[in-house]
Structure 1
Amino acid sequence: MFFNVGVQHGEHYLLVVGTGAATVSDLCGGASLGAVTARLSGCRRVLIDLLGVEQDLSFTEHLQLGAHLAEVAAGLERVATVVPAQQKVGVSERAAQLQGLQIKTFTSLADAQAWLTQP
């Protein structure tokens, strides 16, 4: 199965949507694409929708993903990720937060959108 990443420019944030089976390297690549696209387009907020992603990351891989996201998204105002409830672990989110990234993980797309559009 392919891992696919799509990008849509919105009024308040850049939307990055991943679908398919993903490894930690796939997810890091998707994060890099979103961060670079946001930066080059002048967007300061990013929503990463992973509801359609199948993954089984280890604890160490979650740490690696969080560290990578913090590095590539440095300078962004806010990053929201949305994952299926059964995949919400919090390790990637916390690792990125500890490195200074303003990031929150949600299980609801509507909640993530609401957080991103707050002043």
Structure 2
Amino acid sequence: MFKNTFQSGFLSILYSIGSRPLQIWDKQVRNGHIKRLTDQDIQSSVLELIGSNVNTCFISCPADANKTLGIKLPFLVMIIKNLKKYFTFEVHHELLFPQAAAKARRLMVRCWAHFGK
């Protein structure tokens, strides 16, 4: 998606204040909801994803599972509010190593967490 795009500074793939924040995202919602609302702490629009199970209420990017984002920037920044509930996020990062004869090696990071009271 962004492979042939000039990348410097920041590249936003989810911006809750934008007119269509989930435009490039696939949305799966069963027994839950995705809502845009105003957070009282920061007085700004946020996205709320709530579901009974992380397997049935989630978003993924890019929306087409056969595509990649092609992001070359070295940092991932996330702002997540403590709702005192379980949450999970998953990042797939594909690295190309020249010594591996251009074979892709995949690094996957999974995080399951619970914000305490």
TM-score in terms of structure 2 length: 0.33
TM-score in terms of structure 1 length: 0.32
Structure possessing the higher relative contact order (Cα contacts under 8 Å, 6 or more residues apart): 1
Q: When you count strand as a share of all residues, which structure comes out higher? A: 2
